[in-house]
Amino acid sequence: MGEVAVLFGGPSPEHDVSILSGLQAVRALKAAGRGVQAIYWSKTASFHLVDSNLEATAFVDGVPSGASQLTLEGGAGFVAAGGRLRGAKALDLDAVVLCTHGGPGEDGSLQGALDVAGVSYTGPSVAGAALGMDKLAFSDVVRAAGCRALPRLALTPELEHIDFDGPYIVKPRFGGSSIGIDVVADLATAKARLTSNPHLRSGAVIEPYREDLYDLQIGVRRHPTLTLSAIERPLRGPRTSGEILNYTDKYGGGEGMASAPRELPAQLASPIHESMVSMAATVAEAALIRGVARIDFLGNDHEVFVNEVNTIPGSLARYLFIEPEIPFAQLLTDMIEETKAVPTRRYSAAGADGLVLRGAASIAAKLA
């Protein structure tokens, strides 16, 4: 059993929460006797090998002292820079555990880079990550798979009519963790948010705001078998807006999602519980879940809707697996084993044998 690395941080609004998740994973793997390296991904997107015993406060000002810079190289993986007495050396890793919430760490960008570099990693593939981060595409996919979801449209300056009544929720199309979300009364106000809210610049969606619906969440994994966690009902804290579960409610407790207030397991009517379990299993397949994900629902005593999927959730959703209990180290071990059992895409140049190049005319002739 070789060494693994835990990668955390990254150029994302969820940078700090990612550090908390990563350090939790490092501690759990070390306690289980696994050789583990800690790789910090800075806010400026550079990679650094850091002491695996560091606490969260060491990262307040960025790259901690004593860190060694790494490069990510095609076919070689993570490589430590050489010095006067030694050359550059690639890290010998079985896999990398991704604790990279939001942004390029969860939208497929990092996953694509790791695929090109030949690095095995936990969590979603490029396709699964991109689908999970795109709220509009995800909503269309789950509805096509037969799940119930509230109507959702792309919000653009050209949008003139909505077939559902307000008030509305406006969300970044690409993003998570309740960052940049607004509740608005009408379409005109929603469209004004496109210029006033910086989180909406890459795209936005609009959907009905239902005051009668509350948040429900369930963890899911597909390896070694399809496993669903207990269902939780997150509780809104004293600093919440009262309309939506906000970022502070989720992560303000100091341990990521693991310390957020909640009802776990949620006390639900049997039909609602059964509907959530059924739809979660469907979403796991339709959304290409890999690793441990968290599926977010909106519901009440009478109906429930799929809302979003978080493909690399805060604290890796470890706190949800209580029925039956799955220790954090076991969740991580199973995710590492999945990197071999269900590998992500490996690129190949097979078929690029030079035949087309040998028979090609001059480039100048092709441009004539």
Quote the CA–CA distance of 258 and 316 in Å, as a whole number.
9
Q: How far apart are CA 313 and CA 178, in angstroms?
A: 13
Range in 35-39, 170-174, 214-218, 354-358 with the lowest mean pLDDT = 354-358
pLDDT exceeds 80 at position 353: yes
Q: Is the Cα dihedral 121, 123, 128, 131 positive or negative?
A: negative
Q: What is the mean pLDDT of residues 108-125?
A: 97
Q: Which two tokens stand for residue 140?
A: 């269309």
What's the confidence (pLDDT) of residue 241? Answer: 46
By C-alpha distance, which of 284, 14, 268, 304 is closest to 149? 304
Q: What is the mean pLDDT of residues 26-46?
A: 97
Instruction: Please give the average per-residue pLDDT across 337-353, as a whole number.
Output: 90
Alpha-carbon gap, residue 226 to 208, rounded angstroms? 32
DSSP state, residue 233: E
Q: Quick one: what percent of the chain has pLDDT higher than 90?
A: 80
pLDDT in tens, 296-340: 999 999 999 999 999 999 999 999 999 889 999 999 999 999 999
* pTM for this prediction: 0.90
* CB proximity list for 48: less than 8 A, separation 6 or greater: 39, 40, 41, 42, 63, 67, 68, 69, 70
Supply the pLDDT for residue 18: 97
Q: How would residue 244 be classed by pLDDT, with cut points 50, 70 and 90?
A: low
- Strands 304-310 and 292-299, by their bridges, are antiparallel
pLDDT, mean of residues 16-40 = 97
pLDDT digits (tens, 9 = 90+) for 70-115: 999 998 999 998 655 466 789 999 999 999 999 999 999 999 999 9
Q: Is residue 248 very low, low, confident or very high in pLDDT (cuts 50, 70, 90)?
A: low
As a whole number, mean pLDDT of residues 259-272 equals 90
pLDDT at 365: 75
Mean pLDDT value across residues 361-367? 76
- Inform me whether the pLDDT recorded for 197 exceeds 80: yes
pLDDT band at residue 259, thresholds of 50, 70 and 90? low
Rounded to an integer, the average pLDDT of 179-195 is 95
Q: Would you state the pLDDT for residue 261?
A: 84
Rounded distance between C-alpha atoms, residue 82 and residue 299, angstroms = 55
Q: What per-residue confidence (pLDDT) applies to 255? A: 57
Asked if 339 and 122 count as a contact pair (C-beta separation under 8 A), the reply is yes
Q: Is 75 left (phi over 0), alpha (psi -120 to 50) or beta?
A: left
For residues 258 and 321, which has the higher predicted lDDT (pLDDT)?
321
Pairing of strands 262-263, 227-234: antiparallel
Residue 1: Cβ within 10 Å count: 9
Domains along the sequence of the chain with CATH: 4-121 (3.40.50.20), 124-150+212-337 (3.30.470.20), 151-209 (3.30.1490.20)
pLDDT at 85: 47
pLDDT at 240: 43
Amino acid 238: pLDDT: 45
Specify whether the CB–CB gap between 292 and 98 falls below 8 A. no
Closest CA to 37 of 46, 339, 45, 47: 47
